[in-house]
Amino acid sequence: MTTVQWILLDHAVALLGVALWFATGVTAVLQRHRLAFGLLVGAVLVTLTRPATVVTLAGRGWWFAQEKVLLGLPLLGAAALAAVVVAGPRLFAARRTPGAGLPVGGVVALFTAAYAALAGLVVTFLAGYPLTWSTALIAVSLVCAGALLTAQVLGRQAGEHTDAESPVSLRTTAPRDSSALSRRGFIGLAAGAVAAGAGITGVGLLFRSPEAVVTGGGPRRASGSRPPVSVADLRGPSAPAPGGTSHRHTLTARTATVRLASGGDVDAWTYDGQLPGPAITATQGDLIEVTLRNSDVEDGVTLHWHGYDVPCGEDGAPGATQDAVAPGGEFVYRFRADQVGTYWYHTHQASHPAVRRGLYGTLVVKPRAGGPAEELDLTLPVHTFDDTVVIGNREGRTEHTVRPGAPVRLRLVNTDSEPHWFALAGAPFRVVAVDGRDLHQPGEVREVGLRLPAGGRYDVVLAMPGTPVALVLDHDHGSGVVLRPTGRTGNDPALPDTSGWPELDLLRYGEPAIVPFDADNADRHFTIVLDRALAMVDGRPAYAQTVDGRGHPSIPDQLVAEGDLVRYTVVNRSLETHPWHLHGHPVLILSRDGTRSSGSPLWVDTFDVRPGEVWEVAFRATNPGIWMNHCHNLRHQDQGMMLQLVYDGVSTPYEDASHGHS
């Protein structure tokens, strides 16, 4: 079983336990003693299976089970044991003796076990990893408060019915006298105090001030070791490499209603009124200079060069590397096209609505020298506008005619927040590059599916056969690209059902090669645990997408020094996929769920951490700056899942004014 299956099983067992403990308590109150005893046996059995699922999860990684091991199970175990001891024998006897009852204490014990079971589940969903003292205190307090309130309510009922022959009466040893009132008053007061204390602690927890920086086991900030530098001064060169040329573009962000090539209008935010924005192309060594203007995008805009390792001052991260460009404003980006490959650009300001609404485009850099260019070279950015999925600016299928034997390159770009599936039917092919970086000796494959993470790119190369080829998007035969051999007439053969094709695992694709570092000797090692929890996001409490239990901007910065070898362990505790994206550096994939990458070295800028997965990646810190490090599901990013990688000695003059517009 996969880790996420164990997570789901553990949730199911925990939920069943909650239901059974509550049912036991309720049936005991209703004096259905036979049923209550049966439910108690069921609750105990289910509770006894929890350690098995929790221990298995802990074996997959401490992050998956910490709060269950340290709080949930001990709390439930203690309460369940008390319930069995206090209520078990009485229920066992009562089930054969009509009219016999369970003392209030026994019923309270049963409900307390139910509260404890519920508290464990709630802690898992609302607090998660890492467990804090505040969380533990709140959980225990609430269980105690629940027990006290239950005792008070049941005690009052028992008191009212002492003299009556009521079917819901509870046998009680407490005499009905004037002291009962003061006792209830005392219990109410105590319960109120506990609840208030828990509430205050909870508020305190939301506002707890975290450490500002984590060092990943490396030295702390070393002021004075090198002159401090501002990101504002970490700018690109102003001339191309020898032999290169300069490309100057002006992109103007503006709202527009855009007619797609396939028909249909999109109410969009655009660069230059186009969807996607103008395609930027260059040859290796060229200088790319883009003047960004903002006409009327009220939230402001930037240009982030996704996967392109530009100097930090060109990175387009508002609040870190520049101020967002407001309507009427302007910012000039300049960088050298040193990396060959398929990339894209998008705004990084209010990116959750803004990229979705159209503020993106492609960036393709071709080699200056090298092998022959492909005869057909298509850049295919996939994007979803509301429910309309487009490739480039077309819905549905596009067709191209290709000479049989001609080499073809398809540059697949996922500009959405969710993964897309591609299947190439009709020809063997190679995935020659991932996220712009060439793979080492990628082998020919066929009838495999390609799962492209949010923000990711695959370059697919094939030789055009004498029969049609179809690139199918998301298993929808009506969506994709058809390549038709020149001169071919007649009907196309029927497309196969691609939905059952296995996924090409890039961690086992291509041939190994020497990598530039030994990741076992990292200078710093950071663990990034992804989950959902109650946390502050941009100054507001939210059910956030969290890193180590916190939301942006309260997640501590990761500190590195230039030249450090940095290792990340990225853990997904949640039930959603998180495409992790570090700015400014490609990361080398080391392993997934403990299985080492065994194919070509895989350098990516975005990797999909699916539910329950643990990824190990590494990179060399060679690009000084302050870099965003976030989930590229932009809704998740907006809900808190973003932090910063900060180089020692680098500061920013820009204020994070995002507050909900990260």
Binding site for Cu ion (CB under 5 A): 578, 631, 633, 636
- Considering the complex, state which of residue 146 and residue 612 has its C-beta at the smaller distance from Cu ion: 612
Q: Residues of 202-239 as b/e, b for ≥16 C-beta within 10 angstroms? A: beebeeeeeeeebbbebeeeeeeeeeeeebeebbbeee
- Considering the complex, state which of residue 33 and residue 636 has its C-beta at the smaller distance from Cu ion: 636
546: tokens are 């969290």
- Considering the complex, state which of residue 135 and residue 637 has its C-beta at the smaller distance from Cu ion: 637
- Considering the complex, state which of residue 425 and residue 530 has its C-beta at the smaller distance from Cu ion: 530
Minimum CB separation of residue 594 from Cu ion in Å reads: 22
- Considering the complex, state which of residue 50 and residue 578 has its C-beta at the smaller distance from Cu ion: 578
**What distance in Å separates the CA atoms of residue 662 and residue 659, rounded to the nearest whole number?**
7
Identify the helix (H) or strand (E) that includes residue 152.
helix 133-160
Minimum CB separation of residue 145 from Cu ion in Å reads: 35
- Considering the complex, state which of residue 538 and residue 648 has its C-beta at the smaller distance from Cu ion: 538
Minimum CB separation of residue 546 from Cu ion in Å reads: 10
Residue at 199: amino acid letter: G
The answer to whether 409 and 459 are in contact (CB under 8 A) is: yes
Minimum CB separation of residue 636 from Cu ion in Å reads: 3
Q: What is the DSSP string of 621-653?
A: --S-SEEEEEESSHHHHHTT-EEEEEETTEE--
Minimum CB separation of residue 2 from Cu ion in Å reads: 19
114: tokens are 């139910």
Sign of the dihedral defined by the CA atoms of residues 541, 542, 548, 554, in that order: negative
Minimum CB separation of residue 535 from Cu ion in Å reads: 14
**Reduced 3-state DSSP string for 449-460:** EEEECCCCEEEE
Could you count the other beta carbons within 10 Å of the beta carbon of residue 54? Answer: 21
181: tokens are 């009132």
545: tokens are 């997408």
Minimum CB separation of residue 578 from Cu ion in Å reads: 3
**Best CA proximity match to 633, nearest among 662, 601, 597, 603:** 662
- Considering the complex, state which of residue 342 and residue 633 has its C-beta at the smaller distance from Cu ion: 633
**What distance in Å separates the CA atoms of residue 460 and residue 442, rounded to the nearest whole number?**
10
- Considering the complex, state which of residue 37 and residue 568 has its C-beta at the smaller distance from Cu ion: 568
3-class SS at 600?
coil
- Considering the complex, state which of residue 348 and residue 578 has its C-beta at the smaller distance from Cu ion: 578
Minimum CB separation of residue 631 from Cu ion in Å reads: 3
Minimum CB separation of residue 545 from Cu ion in Å reads: 6
The answer to whether 523 and 566 are in contact (CB under 8 A) is: yes
- Considering the complex, state which of residue 532 and residue 567 has its C-beta at the smaller distance from Cu ion: 532
- Considering the complex, state which of residue 307 and residue 640 has its C-beta at the smaller distance from Cu ion: 640
**What distance in Å separates the CA atoms of residue 68 and residue 61, rounded to the nearest whole number?**
13
Q: Between the CA of residue 381 and those of 361, 433, 452, what are the distances in Å?
A: 8, 15, 11
**Best CA proximity match to 302, nearest among 384, 359, 381:** 359
- Considering the complex, state which of residue 72 and residue 453 has its C-beta at the smaller distance from Cu ion: 453
Q: Between the CA of residue 101 and those of 86, 167, 523, what are the distances in Å?
A: 13, 10, 66
- Considering the complex, state which of residue 293 and residue 630 has its C-beta at the smaller distance from Cu ion: 630
Identify the helix (H) or strand (E) that includes residue 88.
helix 73-94
3-class SS at 227?
coil
* Angle subtended at Cα 610 by Cα 606 and Cα 615, rounded to the nearest 5 degrees: 65
**Best CA proximity match to 306, nearest among 630, 551, 601:** 630
**What distance in Å separates the CA atoms of residue 302 and residue 647, rounded to the nearest whole number?**
22
Structure-token match 């003061």, residue found: 182
